[in-house]
Amino acid sequence: MPKRSPLKNKRILVGVTGSVAAYKAVELVRRLKDEEADVRVIMTSASLNFITPLSLELASGTKPFTGLWEEPLAHVNLASWAELFIIAPATANTIGKLANGTADDLLSACFLAWHGSTLIVPAMNSGMYSHQAFRKNLDYLKSIGITEITPESGVLACGTEGIGRMAGIEKIIDAARNLVTPKDFLGQTVLVTAGPTREPLDPVRFISNRSSGKMGFALARAAAARGAKVILVSGPTSLTPPPGIEKIIKVETAGQMKKAVMHEAASSLLLIMAAAPADYTPDEFSPEKIAKSKRYDLKLKATYDILLEVLKLKRRPFTVGFAAETGPLFENALQKLRKKDLDLIIFNDVTKEGAGFDCGTNQVSIIGRDAGREDVPIMEKEDLAHLILDRILALGNWS
Ligand SMILES: Cc1cc2nc3c(=O)[nH]c(=O)nc-3n(C[C@H](O)[C@H](O)[C@H](O)COP(=O)(O)O)c2cc1C
């Protein structure tokens, strides 16, 4: 399934400097090309001691620029060509030059001519990284809006242990995606729920459902990337919290999810209920493990309907619900939208291949208050999350 990457067709300039981590730039360029970015590379002369221009030419598809004098005005032309500048690895020396406006090689001259988004990815010995002179330079660059991707700790090339290893490639890709994503939800508080809930029978058993939380996490990640202040209320999942979210509230039961949502909803502009909270919970909780017997009659009672509770709020957020059905039961989704006075409902038929629980893709229909329906083709949940946010923005009556 091809992924819609925000880096697709983006013109990205990669600066490579003279660090032992320079070889990692080859993998970085390859990953940027996987995302269908258009990549050009500048190598400092020190970097040529660590890798050959040929490796980066093969990865990027174009000859790297290696000197200020090899093509007149390359520093200005590359600066006006690029949409994003990534310097990885970035040496202490280059960071010092950038912070002080020195322009004695192609990379530093190009940086001065450039006024767009920049990611710097330092890699060096931990002594260098913590030196006051270096910190001053790095802090200055950050103060003028340049994003640092902090190095990792571990055993360094010099044999010592400490902070200084170049950040992982996927972390750099994530940061690059984030920087080029339009911030059209900037400052808006978005409350997203995700995952299943667990309704305990006794200390060892519970009733749950097959929700993985992937759709809710994708929505939280997409909203955060677009500048929203995201609060994620999540039932138990195995997923890593998306980067850049304001907070994650982990809950177990539908009752706890309701409490968390009610607490946050009043101060949120947008609520997206992608979670699958249990509709029923055991009538009674046994504080001791229920002994095995031939037959056990389970009695259930209905949980609170969170969306109906939200409806009671004086100031309700723009509310988006999800309706998972086992068949093309659009009418059920529309009824749910009306009963709960939702602004939008995302319908999916979980019996369809590639839709619904515990897979990376989804196939949904988006239904509005006017019963208008958009049937969205199957796509990655991450892409669908952005599409849903696009549709919310297009409605224009939520902020
Ligand atoms: C074997 C070796 C490894 C080096 N690794 C690093 C490093 O990881 N980070 C760093 O900041 N400098 C490192 N240096 C020092 C830089 O290569 C040196 O400061 C150089 O002038 C950087 O030039 P540039 O910033 O123009 O690429 C290393 C030097 C040597 C000899």
Look at residue 217 and give its three-state secondary structure: helix
Residue 6 lies in a domain: no
DSSP assignments along 81-147, one per residue: H-SEEEEEEE-HHHHHHHHHT--SSHHHHHHHH--S-EEEEE---HHHHH-HHHHHHHHHHHHTTPE
DSSP assignments along 19-50, one per residue: SGGGGHHHHHHHHHHHTT-EEEEEE-TGGGGT
Residue nearest ligand 1's atom 10 by CA: 91
* 91 CA distance to ligand 1 middle (Å): 6
Residue 137 Cβ inside 6 Å of ligand 1? The answer reads no
* Domain C-terminal end among 158, 180, 202: 180
Q: What is the DSSP letter of 326?
A: S
In 157-200 the beta strands, taken as DSSP E runs, fall at 161-165, 189-194, 199-200
**β 152-155/161-165 pair status:** antiparallel
Residue 5 lies in a domain: no
* 18 CA distance to ligand 1 middle (Å): 4
Nearest of 138, 134, 159 to residue 147 by alpha carbon: 138
The reply to whether 170 and 200 lie within a common domain is no
The reply to whether 39 and 158 lie within a common domain is yes
The reply to whether 305 and 264 lie within a common domain is yes
Residue 314 has pLDDT above 80, yes or no: yes
Q: Which of 19, 23, 95, 163 to mutate to test the pocket of ligand 1 (most atoms within 8 A of CB)?
A: 19
Q: How many domains does the chain have?
A: 2
Q: How far is CA 169 from CA 43, 57, 97, 384, in A?
A: 18, 18, 24, 24
The reply to whether 155 and 295 lie within a common domain is no
Residue 350 lies in a domain: yes
Residue 230 lies in a domain: yes
The reply to whether 176 and 193 lie within a common domain is no
pLDDT tens profile 252-290? 999 999 999 999 999 999 999 999 999 999 999 999 999
Per the residue annotation, which of 158, 262, 269, 355 is the catalytic one? Answer: 158
pTM above 0.85, yes or no: no
pLDDT tens profile 366-385? 999 999 999 999 999 999 99
Residue 359 has pLDDT above 90, yes or no: no
CATH code of 15's domain: 3.40.50.1950
* 21 CA distance to ligand 1 middle (Å): 9
Is there a contact between 139 and 96 (Cβ–Cβ < 8 Å)?
no
pLDDT at 1: 54
Residue 253 is encoded by which pair of tokens? 């039961």
pLDDT tens profile 80-136? 999 999 999 999 999 999 999 999 999 999 999 999 999 999 999 999 999 999 999
Residue 38 has pLDDT above 90, yes or no: yes
Residue 150 has pLDDT above 80, yes or no: yes
Strand partners, 205: none
The reply to whether 241 and 344 lie within a common domain is yes
CATH code of 215's domain: 3.40.50.10300
Residue 396 has pLDDT above 80, yes or no: no
Token pair 């809950």: residue: 251
Q: How many Cβ atoms sit within 10 Å of the Cβ of residue 50? A: 17
Structural domain for 340, as ranges = 189-395
Ligand 1 atom at shortest distance from the alpha carbon of 93: 25
The reply to whether 227 and 357 lie within a common domain is yes
The reply to whether 293 and 194 lie within a common domain is yes
pLDDT tens profile 39-51? 999 999 999 999 9
**Which pLDDT band holds residue 351 (cuts at 50, 70, 90)?**
confident
pLDDT at 290: 94
Across the range 174-190, mean pLDDT stands at 93
**Which pLDDT band holds residue 159 (cuts at 50, 70, 90)?**
confident
The reply to whether 353 and 300 lie within a common domain is yes
Across the range 12-28, mean pLDDT stands at 98
Q: How far is CA 356 from CA 125, 240, 328, 351, 390, in A?
A: 47, 20, 13, 8, 21
Residue 3 has pLDDT above 70, yes or no: no
The reply to whether 29 and 138 lie within a common domain is yes
pLDDT at 117: 95
DSSP assignments along 369-381, one per residue: TT--EEEPPPEEH
* Domain C-terminal end among 127, 157, 180: 180
Residue 293 lies in a domain: yes
Residue 110 annotated to the active site: no
Average pLDDT, the chain: 94
* Domain C-terminal end among 180, 212, 229: 180
Residue 4 lies in a domain: no
Type of residue found at 315: R
Residue 59 lies in a domain: yes
pLDDT at 106: 98
The reply to whether 199 and 163 lie within a common domain is no
pLDDT at 160: 81
DSSP assignments along 232-245, one per residue: EEE-S-SPPPPTT-
The reply to whether 357 and 233 lie within a common domain is yes
Residue 161 lies in a domain: yes
